[in-house]
Chains A and B, each alone.
Chain A
Amino acid sequence: MKSRERVLKTVMFEEPDRVPLFEIPPSLKVLSEIFNEDLANLLALFASVDGRTSEETWKKLIKMYKQIGLDCFCTSGIGNPFKAIPLENHKVVDVWGRIFSLAYGFTTSPFYVGPYLTSREKYEAFPRPDPLDEYNLNQLKSAIKAAGDDMLVIAGVGSIWEVQGEALGFDNALKYIYTDPVFLRKVLNDSTRYAIELGKASIDLGAEILLLWDDYGYRHGPMMSPKHWKEFIYPCLKKVADEFHKRGAFLMIHSDGNIRPLMDMIIEAGVDLIQPLEPAAGMDIVEVAEKWGGKICLVGNIDVSYLLPFGTREDVIESVKRAISAAAPGGGYILGSGHMINDACKPENFLAMVETGKKFGKYPVILTNFSGSNQIMAPKL
């Protein structure tokens, strides 16, 4: 079975030949270790003018993803990084008004360091990003072309809450709930419009699943109360979902953190897939599958805080078997990491996750009885 069919069947709660695999583009550091490639060369490839939009770059990456065994991956859709405005000390302001550091010793990707639009006046004076920027469209076009029949490309279409929260500063954005709700609504409508416009164009280019990057939670729970979420985020999310459904496409949300109190509303808004189900924030796959399995396609959940960076191969195998056993019967589960394969993840653990998925994810899946909670291990120093 081809990846596309495998993924789409799963999303529609049918059992394909095996559980599909999804990752956000994994860390270049980890890829360089797996494929014995020089990290500096890989980084240089991305820093080149064409960056992620170039078909050659995608071809190289997709070949790696395919060799690893992924069925789908995603583009960002967050806007043109080459339109970022440089600040001092290797910092830039991106098209949304978020400050990134490009020279950070601990990570191989640009690193969000703070908000640029720290007042209503600054937000209003800042130009809105163009959803149909050539960069967004070329990135998707070249990814779809490079993937061919081999993999399904999920199209990133921006974000409703997260990018705006980062641009304003999450603390400011949360404060506006109380001090300036009219402005906050306007801000969220701006990003909703972006997502819909880019989504429509992406569907025209052939995308079948569209992804919003939208962290609603942190470790303890949602950043805002479920009541405020319903008031501010829900209407935007529903609008996006309705527009995409009208065109026969699916909506996927990437949200970190503990979002259990929001799950029913996320489903009601029409979201079709939810990623990454962060176990370190208490999103336990057994509980999540019991409560929401069959209502929304679950994606991810293999821990990246401890398990993939520090765990043993056996730990990883155990965790993957547990997730498959809990969530995969009847379709509706896509295996993947509980956030993304970051610089700290051990390449061999990433590969063990994929291998186990392929081996134990064959339908009909073997049910294993796992007692106790999803044990997250402390690192071995």
Chain B
Amino acid sequence: MLKLLLTSVCQIFGIFLITFLILHLIPGDPILVMMGESSSLADQEKLRSELGLDKSIIEQIINSIGQLAQGNFGTSILSNMPIKPQLLDAMKNTYTLASLALCIAIFFGFIGGILAAKFHGSYIDRCITNVSLFFISIPHFFLGPLLILMMSIYLGLLPVSGMESKYAIILPALTLALGLLAVIIKMTRNSMLEIINSDVVRTARAKGLGELAITLHHMFRLVLIPLITIIGMQFGSLLSGAVITETIFSWDGLGRLLVTSIQTRDYPVTQACILIIASSYVFINFLTEVAYRFLDPRMRH
């Protein structure tokens, strides 16, 4: 467990180094890239000292670690305001979106997977498998506009984009969830099929338990353990999918902040966004690993 924690901390430090280097890898002078050729020399020097680019690289690394430890993510070049409040807002929005998408995907994924495995080989199974294959092969940037076209423009049920209405979260969450849903259905179905003929299930059936009790109490609990790992790993694709989904639906999350900051060449914001997204991915992976060990006694030693 300690080794796991240590690896995660090392990973986060590595991510910090890579994001830190982003500013230094810009071809040419980053200050000129950010401010444009026509900016005055005094402004350029001011920004240079604000970003700490006039110091040596070791000094810069130590400085920014110190700043980060105090929860200071630096200042946005565009708005000249601290990044932190903006970042916290975006984080809240992204995590709300991602967790809703995850809930939808897990709920319908489990139901779909269990049904498909229960009626293995039947019409229901083929139907569920084909629908999930359909959603697994559609990229987010196509599914999003498709949903807008269907739900908002033809049916007029939900808002197209933005965050004003409280129903606005449904379409982006659905876009994110449908791809994940397909993965969860496939995994649930396959692992259910693996244990459907195992001794545990046969014993339960021999005891005279009802079909529902066998499915939920015996089979589902066994299936849950590998599924948790897969869901944890899929969280990463959820985060990178959020970049595109948030851009389509104008959802003010981390992904949209990242894309806007790249377009406006606001590099401190870009760095902060990448750092946060990658660190939360590492954190979730760590939690998944811990949960896995906790749930499966065989893994504890």
Q: Do A and B bind each other?
A: no
